[in-house]
Amino acid sequence: MTTVFRNGLLIALIVIVFDQLTKLWAASSLGYASPVPIFPSFNLTLLHNPGAAFSFLGDADGWQRWFFLALALGVSTWLALWLRKLGEGERWMGLSLALLIGGALGNAIDRVYLGYVIDFIDLYCCGYHWPAFNVADSAISVGAVWLFVLMWNQDKDVRKQEAEK
């Protein structure tokens, strides 16, 4: 087991634990759909999301719970296999995969036990509210952007090497 793989699993576990602890706090401390202003453009607002990002399929008949759970488990397994293959020099790639795994599994835990995902971070500007999100969603977003940047740079390096030949 490589250090990148071991560290990646540890980071994913940290994301899951932090995500679950913050959701537990939000569910026990906040009233449902009652914004608590923290500072301008930032509220804490407890919401339940039975769908995916931006409440996609949130009004479906319940099948989406199992679909998104299967998707999260399948993608997390694939990412873990990818993480396992990384070499010692690919720590940043390992970090991005770990964030994706931790975020996907954090939300999957909610789907298993609750049937919905707990969201509570509410950002807004000029009367427009970004869809509420949580720590797992943040980890997925950061991991996805970082993965895109790494792959973009990797592709750019390959194209540069091919052009030099």
Give per-residue pLDDT as tens, 101-146: 999 999 999 999 999 999 999 999 998 999 999 999 999 999 999 9
What's 54's DSSP letter? Answer: G
- Domains held by the chain: number: 1
**Nearest residue to 150 (alpha-carbon basis) of 74, 103, 89:** 89
- Would you say residue 58 has pLDDT above 60? no
**Is 82 inside any structural domain?**
yes
Contact between residue 134 and residue 45 where contact means Cβ atoms under 8 Å apart: no
Is 108 part of any domain? yes
Catalytic residue from among 119, 122, 155, 157: 119
Give the predicted TM-score (pTM) of the model.
Answer: 0.90
- Closest C-alpha among 78, 122, 85 to residue 101: 78
Q: Is 19 a catalytic residue?
A: no
Nearest to 75 by CA among 15, 120, 140: 140
Instruction: Reply yes or no on whether 119 is catalytic.
Output: yes
- Active site residue: 61, 137, 155, 157, which one? 137
Domain that holds residue 92: 3-159
Q: What residues contact 75, with CB distance under 8 A and at least 6 apart?
A: 100, 104
Residue 165 lies in a domain: no
pLDDT (tens digit per residue) in 62-91: 677 788 899 999 999 999 999 999 999 999
SS3 46: strand
Q: Examine residue 52 and state whether it is found in any structural domain, yes or no.
A: yes
Q: State the angle between helix axes of 63-85 and 3-29 in degrees (0 to 180), rounded to the nearest 10.
A: 150
